[in-house]
Structure 1
Amino acid sequence: MPPSDSRRPAPQAAARATEQRLVGLNACRAAFARRPQDLRKLWLTATRQRELRDMLAWCVRQRIGYRIVEPAELEKLSGSAHHEGVCAAFRKPAAPSLDALLAALPAGPALLLWLEGVGNPHNLGAVLRSAAHFGAAGVLVPADEGASLSPAVLRVAEGGAEAVPVLAIADRARALTMLRAAGFVLAASTPHRAQSLYAAALPQRLALALGAEGGGLPEAFLAQAELRLRIPGSGAVESLNVSAAAAVLAADWFRRHVPAATD
């Protein structure tokens, strides 16, 4: 018998490496609606059978494993108490490169969000939800920050992660060069030495950068921005939560540049 290769991952571990586990009704249904062929396994409580009958029927036709489980078992399987009665394993989608994303964009208005230091799952998920709602073409996250699309992020995104790709940027300088070559203007969200959002001219092709709670965007990154934008308010607090700020900024860009926004 040949010696076993301890470096080779076990079949189950290898499968998990290519798998994305989703929890929450909207997150699971959005993934199934866009890519049913990627569904690998489904767990749900009895109370969700009626709402998920299309997924169950697909599992039967495609011979995909599914189980009806108790809420306590589903919490263990999903790793979340906020599973909403369903957990699904999908094949991980391949994220496009920035080169491919920019090449595929049609001419005209386009919005990208660039996040620096935004690792909190609830903030990242909420940003993805807003990005999808306001038609962003992608969300850029520096690769060295290790932000991941965890089950918590995907649940909070409520399906937004299916509509908006998240790209890991390994070389910030190269990415900025590529964005500018594609006609994008870099705008930094900051309450310091910035124009009012409502008085500023927002370009059609905008890369909107937002930073982490507390620290905000690094000064070196702010120096790269052609625009510095602040969201006017009462002054009772210094600034908005990053996910709320992303929604306000994206909404104003959408209002100005997407004709359907005024319908």
Structure 2
Amino acid sequence: MSDNPWKSGKPGQPSPWKSRTKPPERARAPEVADAPPEQGFESRPRVARPSGELRLYGLNACLAAFARRPNDLRKVYLLESRIDELKPVLAWCAKNRLGYRVVENTDLDKLTASRHHEGLCFEMLRQAPLGLTELLGMQEPAPARSLLIWLDGVGNPHNFGALLRSAAHFAAGGVIVPAASSLDLSGAAARVAEGGAEMVALARVEDEAVALSQLREAGYTIAATVPREGQELYSTRMAQRTVLVFGAEGEGMSAALIEAADQRLSIPGSGLVDSLNIAASAAVVLGEYWRQTR
């Protein structure tokens, strides 16, 4: 290594950072006027979310993103020890005049704000969330098996990442969140998901009551997971087309959403602790759905 930690490209070759063109801006989804809330559902303001580029880190998260959408790659930062296994990515960068930098571990700590980067960081274009109609268009039509996940109030990126990993493992068709939710894919969530974030689509819904009606029209049963006073998971038959609703730890999901559900499911246990966290609960329920419907 030279004294300068920011080496660029290979010795004797022109720097890929020169003559770099600015990537085209992604089209923004049109704004939708807020409709009056349905009975029982409160009108919540939208939360401003980041746009543009996202810094992904962790080997599996980065390689999964590159495998599915290489054209969204914008920059690569890596340790010298990662060069051999990243040769296909670096060749893509050279071919497409994208910059890559060999850096030190401390540089990656700062770039990712984490020590769990595994020697790699990609800057990727952030994917725009889908609308519910788009998400439903990606599923098999009724009555075929289909599993969707609805998250109400969940905000922890590590729990979100763990849930995405389980969702990918059990072939969930997508995750639905309200437009007012602050939940979004972050570098931390993608790293914990170990590539699962690229396999599970994210959709946002403007009106929760309208979204529930649309899901039922598409043949889905709405099943809310509650810590107690629900049907015991292992003695309840889940529908082939199910939307599993999970709430945040502590607050849980909204009373209106619980009331609107077709089923209420609880995970039986010893009672020595009040409940499982969202990531563990999701893994248990998703696994049981897989067992029943397969």
Same fold (TM > 0.5): yes
Matched, 1:78 2:112: yes
- Output aligned runs, 1:90-101, within 5 Å: 90-101=124-135
SS at match of 1:148: coil
Moved over 3 A (4+): 14-17
SS at match of 1:144: coil
1:29 counterpart (18, 42, 63)? 63
CA distance, structure 1, for counterparts of residue 51 and residue 271 of structure 2: 47
Matched, 1:126 2:166: no
* Superposed displacement of residue 90, structure 1: 1.2
CA distance, structure 1, for counterparts of residue 106 and residue 154 of structure 2: 31
- Counterpart for residue 223 of structure 1: 259
After superposition, give the CA deviation of every residue in 1:22-48 in whole Å (9 maximum; x if it has no partner).
011110000011111211110001111
**Matching residue's letter, 2:82:** R
1:68 counterpart (97, 102, 105)? 102
- Counterpart for residue 243 of structure 1: 279
- Counterpart for residue 38 of structure 1: 72
CA distance, structure 1, for counterparts of residue 137 and residue 51 of structure 2: 29
Matched, 1:114 2:147: no
CA distance, structure 1, for counterparts of residue 229 and residue 51 of structure 2: 45
- Output aligned runs, 1:1-263, within 5 Å: 17-107=51-141, 108-258=144-294
CA distance, structure 2, for counterparts of residue 146 and residue 168 of structure 1: 11
Name stretches of at least 5 consecutive residues in structure 2 with no aligned partner.
1-21, 27-49
CA distance, structure 2, for counterparts of residue 113 and residue 184 of structure 1: 11
CA distance, structure 2, for counterparts of residue 196 and residue 121 of structure 1: 28
CA distance, structure 1, for counterparts of residue 169 and residue 293 of structure 2: 14
**Matching residue's letter, 1:206:** T
* Superposed displacement of residue 95, structure 1: 2.8
CA distance, structure 1, for counterparts of residue 283 and residue 228 of structure 2: 19
CA distance, structure 1, for counterparts of residue 138 and residue 266 of structure 2: 31
SS at match of 1:118: coil
**Matching residue's letter, 2:248:** A
CA distance, structure 1, for counterparts of residue 156 and residue 138 of structure 2: 30
CA RMSD, aligned part only?
1.7
CA distance, structure 2, for counterparts of residue 104 and residue 123 of structure 1: 25
After superposition, give the CA deviation of every residue in 1:64-120 in whole Å (9 maximum; x if it has no partner).
110000011111122222211100011222332210221231130100111111101
**Matching residue's letter, 2:67:** A
After superposition, give the CA deviation of every residue in 1:104-139 in whole Å (9 maximum; x if it has no partner).
311301001111111011111111111111000101
Work out the number of aligned pairs and report it. Answer: 247
* Superposed displacement of residue 253, structure 1: 0.8
CA distance, structure 1, for counterparts of residue 193 and residue 56 of structure 2: 11
Name stretches of at least 5 consecutive residues in structure 1 with no aligned partner.
1-10, 259-263
CA distance, structure 1, for counterparts of residue 263 and residue 154 of structure 2: 20
**Matching residue's letter, 1:173:** A
Q: TM-score normalized by structure 2?
A: 0.80
Which one has the bigger helix percentage? 1
How much identity, in percent, do the aligned residues show?
50
**Matching residue's letter, 2:244:** L
SS at match of 1:223: helix
